Each structure stands twice: as structure tokens, then as C-alpha cells.
Structure 1
Amino acid sequence: MTSQDDFDSDSIAAVKPNTKDRHLAAQVEALLIVAAEPITADEIAKLVGVEIPFAVEALGCLEEFYEQSRRAFYLAHIGGGFQIRTRPEFEGVVKRYVDFNYSDRLSKAALEVLSIVAYRQPISKAQISQIRGVNSDATVRLLLDKGYLEAKERDSGPGQAYLYRTTKLFLERLGLYSLDDLPKLDGYVPDARFVENLERTLILDREG
């Protein structure tokens, strides 16, 4: 049986993209667009229901298409997986858009997720969503982009979901030396006063 090790990120360059299955390539592209973290060829193959070589070939087709058409994004090889990223030459205009349209003020949902992770880490997105009672994927992705969360490990159980932790930046923003300095709270979710203090601290840090 073919393993993921036989088709690592370096093998993509050796694949001649000649597949005529545009639907497969579109499926793979859709996964790359919505994935919050790099996704492996093995994971892609399982999700779209094909053998790994076909997933690798589709990735090769997309990579070549992005390069030849000089799209604003490219297929990055990261940590054994693949992710669509904006080309470095467009960072300036993207940053101007982000600065113009968004502030560092976090939404209630973001503060809620951040509080849950702070007290229950390491924790998966499914567990976060279960505690909140709503899907939290987009909110987790936002906090990853802002640098308050990171996912550097996987659950050992079925599916091997990514586990999320707060970052050093999170501690710095709150003026904490370690997670041991967090207020001691009962239950799974911190009380409203902690969430309000968290929001106030992040805003004051940005203004100061």
C-alpha cells in the first residue's frame, strides 16, 4: 500500500501534471482554500476518495497552474503539508486592506474561544465548538492569524485533530509570565468579568 512517505512535498515537483480530471483538482483546491492549517496529500486523498498518487498529481496541477498564471497566491509546502498563501510581493497591499478594515478589537466570539482555550488547552476545534454550542472554526482561524493561538500538536485519538494552545503573544498581551498566573475559575468557561478584562487589556495594549 502506498504511504504518505512515498509522496512528500518534495515529490510534487517531480509530478508532471497531466490529469484531465478537473473536478478532482477543483475538489483539492476547495480543501486548500478552507483548511485552517496545512493539509497533507494523504488527508486530501482520504477526503476526496482517491489514491494518494492522484491527490499528489492534482496538487501538482494546481501548483503549476498557479505558477504559470502568476496568480496572487501560490501552493506552499509547509510542515509536510500544503497550504495556499498570498505571494510575498502582495503583502503590502494585503496589509493595507487589513489595517483599513479591521482593528485588533476582538469580537465576543473570539474572546469566548480565547478564554476557553486558555483554560482547557490543549483542545481541539470540535471540543471548543461543543463547549460553545456553535461552530468555532472561523473564530479559531482568526485567532491563529492574529497570533493568539497555535496548533503544533495532534490528538492521539481517531482523526488526529489539531490541538490548540495560547501563544507567548497571548501571555505578553495580558502581562502574564505563565498560564499559572491566570485567575482560578470553576467550570469550563471563565466568567464574564474575566472576558471583559481580557478585552480591555488587549485594547489598551494596542493603544499603548
Structure 2
Amino acid sequence: MNAALAELLAVFFAAGRPLSNRELARGLERGEEEIRRLVGELGRLLEDGGYGVALEEVAGGWRLIVHPRFVDRVQRVLRPRAPRLSPAALEVLAIVAYHQPITRPEIEAMRGKSSDGVLEGLLERGLVEAVGEKPVVGRPRLYATTQRFLELFGLASLDDLPPLEEGPALLLRD
């Protein structure tokens, strides 16, 4: 492994979060085209699992993950806990994800019940955030999903959400 790839690997290892090509270029004082080339090269180097890690594109950037070959072993040692979300929290999160930006009253109209506590819990967990105010009387807050949401659900962007099929009326757009 050459010095540039080792440097890039060290940055990914230390970051603990996805890093965009722009962040990497700025921090490593290299051009974005060179960063794209290095990330591709590092990804190819890691893809066979010989280093135990792989690169994953998620949330508009790249991060190190455990190589799929070793996930079972790592889980046996670390026993990670998946984030536990109640059915109500998953319902509200899905509504926000597919209809963002959206106000609390709009969420409640879709659900047919209050969403105050559920929405507060999603805000506290960093899965949803207030992104502005709707320009109507009362100026209700608009909510959208966060980068953390993309990371936890392994999505590169909202475009990676599965398409809505006919089913629960609460998720169908007007």
C-alpha cells in the first residue's frame, strides 16, 4: 500500500463517520479528482477482505465498515444492539422520510393521532431535525431526516429509499 492510500485509510479509520470527497480533498490538500481516484483504488484494495474492512458509500460520503466476510465474527464479539424503535416511531420516521419536509400537523393528519412524543424521541435520537418553518399562519416547523438516519439505515441518499407500493394509506402521497 502506498503512502497516499495509507493516509486515506488512516483518515477513514479515525473519522468514525462518512467523509465526502470534498472534505477529504480539503483536509488532505489534494484535488477532488485525485481523491476520487484514491478512494476507488482503496476500495478495490479492500474489497477481497484481506484487511478485514471495506469502504461503503453512504450519506453522501465514504466510511469504513467491517468487511461482510467478517460481520458474523465481529457480531459474536461485540454483540451490537440495533436501534430499537417502536412501531409508532417507525411509522413517523417513514412518513418524514417519504414526505419531507413535513410539519407535525401534516404527520398527525396522516397518522390520525398525536405525534408529539414520538417526534420528540426521533429528534433526541438525531434521526429527524427541524429544517425550517412552513410559510403559513402559525409558521409550523418543517421536519426532515438527518445524515444519521442515512447512516443507520445504510442509505447513500434518500433516492435509495425503497419505492412506495400501494399499501398503507398513511404513506401514500396526495
Greater share of helix? 1
Higher relative contact order (CA 8 A, sep 6+): 2
